């Protein structure tokens, strides 16, 4: 009898994601999105699934080999609007619960996103991108037939590219339109040279909310305000004060209260998001979580789930209380709150709640939950008692054929006596008395958080016979405002000390770790830190740096966020080259003795590939042991949502490098 093996890179093709559950208005049915990777297409396929909570049997509702997302029930629960790429660009479709074919209701040239039903159920508002001289009446062309015209790109703005979207057309702006579902009639409700991103429709039908930054100079503005668009008069009113970033609006059922998330940016991008409520009657804005030292929202970092939609604040029918998502000490939890300022946890177990949809009458919800050994499933949860019933078992049959490593949580003393949390995974097939190599994993951000969720890369390394150590050093979210802010201006300082303290703790408390076979890897900020570590200690015998930063001086000019990220994080700009260079791993490349594998995507605009090129050439110049692997067509999201074949290649490179040197 052969023992079951652990997770392998190619197992990505067998694992599926469930995400974005949406309860029907009467709380008896749920639709959700299921995503899998297709080996032949080398792409992702997602479809809508349905569960009636009486019989609890999942049924597939849409078919095809495209991407489906953003399901929304009509107010009477008879129809579902959703997005699909079946005709090329993402467009809005409406499907009757009674069955039949889905009806395409938008045909916009540049696609349509963010469908929002009107309270009467006859119209759908949506976001649309319009270029110069384009109108919402311009139809989408067949992308396959269209030859792309080559022409020069004129750039006058510093914000001219994004990792997600590539180069930004300076003539294109985002606007809001409304389609009549029955007639197809279109109406554009915002206009001008502005980016207006649709939020929500008020239950009384009077207002749409939208997000916009209407500053004169967008290059130096990082604010996002909430606007109320009065549909009758087409007048917009700004609700927030232009000194922060706000998003995710949600209405109480009686339209009196508007909740949203965000903050004043006192700590730039390290500021914890808070929950705000605007009282439409009193014209008062109140921060509900002002005394609450944890960020509202989802800051858990992972490498597996697809189609996750961060849930808004969700109101109960009493117009007084609501539920919302909080990131806290390795978990993403659901909290209860009310307009009087009461707040307490409703579900706060060792798990990652990555989505939920509220039954607004009964304090129940459908929650999407992942744990360290379950990639993700849907559960029917009682928010008062915490009782839960599992509705899907999407990966159960496949995972029965595998052995998973089970992480154990640790807490240790980092720099300055601060408490730091993390996890350690024993290798699959662990035997007492044997010695095993250890790999330290470092997350990106740095303002993110490893959590109690399934991590594919870690399971693959454990399956190969490695112990895996992963932690949340200072700079991570989930441990309070002081903790998340502490990394700014100190990259390579106490954050590095926290990580070395984690390794010291593991060696002291786990006698199966071989201190002569230590590896280290990480991506983005984790790649920066990997580069920093090998330039400051020789204790690691192998390292893999991914989508990394090596030189803050050039990063300031080439990254899509560079010129302000260096100001915020290193707390130095191009007028302080010495500080930028002091924090640059490239400065210390002559000290590197650790064999270093460099992995980077060709189309990474967040940490552009020149960062890897400089590092590779400097290492080779100094006759160091290194290899450079470039991934075609891949951006900064390669490990999470890149082409399946490239994601698998990446995992194989990491595994094989550590096998070779450890």
pLDDT bracket for residue 50 (50, 70, 90): very high
State yes or no: pLDDT of 590 exceeds 60.
yes
> Is residue 326 scored above 80 in pLDDT?
yes
Give the mean pLDDT of the chain: 95
pLDDT at 2 over 60: no
Q: pLDDT per residue over 290-316, tens digit each?
A: 999 999 999 999 999 999 999 999 999
Q: How confident is the model at residue 144 (pLDDT cuts 50, 70, 90)?
A: low
With 0-12 CB in 10 A as exposed, 13-18 as middle and 19+ as buried, what is 464?
Answer: buried
Residue whose C-alpha is closest to residue 654's, from 562, 538, 531, 519: 519
The pLDDT, as a whole number, for residue 99 is 83
Residues 167-213: tens digit of each pLDDT: 988 788 999 999 999 999 999 999 999 999 999 999 999 999 999 99
pLDDT at 55 over 90: yes
Name the nearest CA neighbour of 72 among 121, 143, 2. 121
**pTM, full prediction:** 0.96
Rounded mean pLDDT of 65-94?
96
Residues whose CB is less than 8 angstroms from the CB of residue 73 and which lie 6 or more positions away in sequence, other chains included: 22, 23, 24, 25, 31, 79, 80, 117
Residues belonging to the active site: 524, 636
Q: Dig out the tokens for 262 from the structure.
A: 């965000």
Residue 71 to residue 93: CA distance in whole angstroms: 10
* Whether the predicted pLDDT of 146 surpasses 80: no
Please give the C-alpha separations between residue 544 and each of 217, 246, 507, 657, in angstroms, as whole numbers.
40, 37, 21, 8
How is residue 297 annotated by DSSP? S
Summarised one tens digit per residue, pLDDT across range 362-407 is 999 999 999 999 999 999 999 999 999 999 999 999 999 999 999 9
Above 90 in pLDDT, residue 581?
Answer: yes
What domains, with CATH codes, occur in the chain?
406-661 (3.40.50.1820)
**Structure tokens that stand for 281 in this block:** 């009657």
Q: Per-residue pLDDT averaged across 242-271, rounded? A: 95
Q: pLDDT tens across 14-25, in order?
A: 999 999 999 999
CB-CB contact of 219 with 158 (8 Å):
yes
């Amino acid at each position: 009898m052969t023992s079951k093996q652990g997770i392998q890179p190619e197992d990505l093709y067998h694992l599926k994601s469930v995400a974005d559950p949406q309860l029907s208005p009467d709380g008896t049915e749920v639709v959700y999105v299921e995503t899998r990777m297709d080996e032949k297409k080398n792409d992702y396929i997602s479809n809508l699934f349905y569960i009636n909570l009486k019989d609890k049997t999942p049924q597939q509702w849409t078919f095809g080999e495209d991407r489906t997302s953003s399901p929304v029930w009509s107010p009477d629960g008879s129809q579902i609007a959703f997005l699909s790429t079946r005709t090329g660009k993402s467009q809005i479709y409406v499907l009757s619960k009674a069955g039949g074919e889905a009806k395409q209701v938008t045909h916009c040239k540049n696609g349509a996103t963010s469908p929002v039903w009107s309270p009467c159920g006859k119209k759908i508002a949506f976001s649309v991108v319009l270029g110069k001289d384009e109108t919402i009446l311009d139809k989408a062309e067949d992308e396959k037939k269209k030859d792309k015209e080559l022409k020069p790109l004129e750039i006058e703005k510093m914000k001219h590219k994004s990792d997600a979207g590539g180069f930004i057309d300076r003539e294109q702006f985002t606007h809001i339109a409304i389609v009549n579902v029955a007639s197809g009639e279109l109406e554009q409700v915002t206009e001008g040279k502005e980016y207006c991103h649709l939020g929500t429709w008020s239950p009384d039908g009077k207002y749409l909310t939208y997000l916009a930054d209407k500053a004169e100079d967008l290059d130096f503005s990082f604010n996002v305000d909430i606007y109320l668009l009065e549909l009758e008069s087409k007048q917009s009113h700004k609700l927030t004060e232009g000194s922060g970033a706000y998003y995710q609006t949600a209405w109480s059922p009686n339209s009196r209260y508007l909740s949203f998330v965000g903050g004043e940016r006192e700590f730039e991008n390290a500021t914890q998001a808070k929950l705000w409520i605007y009282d439409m009657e009193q014209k008062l804005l109140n921060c509900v979580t002002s005394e609450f030292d944890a960020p509202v929202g989802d800051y858990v970092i992972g490498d597996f789930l697809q189609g996750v939609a961060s849930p808004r604040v969700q109101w109960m029918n009493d117009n007084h209380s609501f539920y919302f998502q909080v990131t806290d000490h390795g978990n993403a939890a659901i909290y209860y709150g009310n307009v009087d300022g009461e707040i307490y946890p409703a579900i706060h177990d060792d798990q990652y709640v990555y989505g939920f949809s509220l039954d607004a009458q009964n304090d129940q919800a459908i929650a999407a939950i992942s744990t360290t050994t379950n990639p993700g499933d849907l559960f029917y949860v009682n928010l008062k008692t915490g009782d839960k019933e599992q509705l899907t078992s999407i990966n159960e049959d496949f995972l029965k054929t595998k052995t998973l490593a089970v992480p154990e949580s640790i807490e240790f003393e980092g720099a300055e006596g601060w408490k730091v949390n993390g996890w350690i995974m024993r290798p699959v097939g662990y035997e007492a008395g044997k010695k095993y190599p250890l790999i330290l994993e470092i997350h990106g951000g740095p303002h993110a958080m490893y959590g109690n969720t399934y991590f594919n890369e870690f399971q693959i390394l454990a399956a190969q016979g490695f112990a895996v150590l992963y932690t949340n050093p200072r700079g991570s979210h989930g441990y309070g405002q002081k903790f998340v802010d502490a990394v700014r201006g100190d990259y390579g300082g106490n954050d590095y000390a926290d990580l070395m303290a984690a390794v010291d703790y593991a060696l002291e408390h786990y006698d199966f770790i071989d201190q002569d076979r230590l590896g280290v890897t990480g991506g983005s900020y984790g790649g920066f830190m990997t580069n920093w570590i090998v330039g400051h200690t020789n204790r690691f015998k192998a390292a893999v740096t991914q989508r990394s930063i090596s030189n803050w001086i050039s990063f300031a000019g080439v990254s899509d966020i560079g010129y302000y990220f260096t100001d915020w994080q290193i707390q130095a700009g191009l007028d302080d080259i010495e500080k930028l260079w002091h924090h640059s791993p490239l400065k210390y490349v002559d000290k590197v003795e650790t064999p270093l594998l460099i992995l980077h995507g060709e189309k990474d605009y967040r940490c552009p590939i020149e960062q890897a090129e400089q590092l590779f050439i400097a290492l080779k110049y100094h006759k160091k042991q290194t290899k450079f692997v470039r991934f075609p067509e891949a951006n900064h999201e390669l490990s999470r949502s890149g082409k399946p074949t490239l994601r698998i290649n990446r995992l194989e490179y990491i595994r094989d490098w550590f096998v070779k040197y450890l």
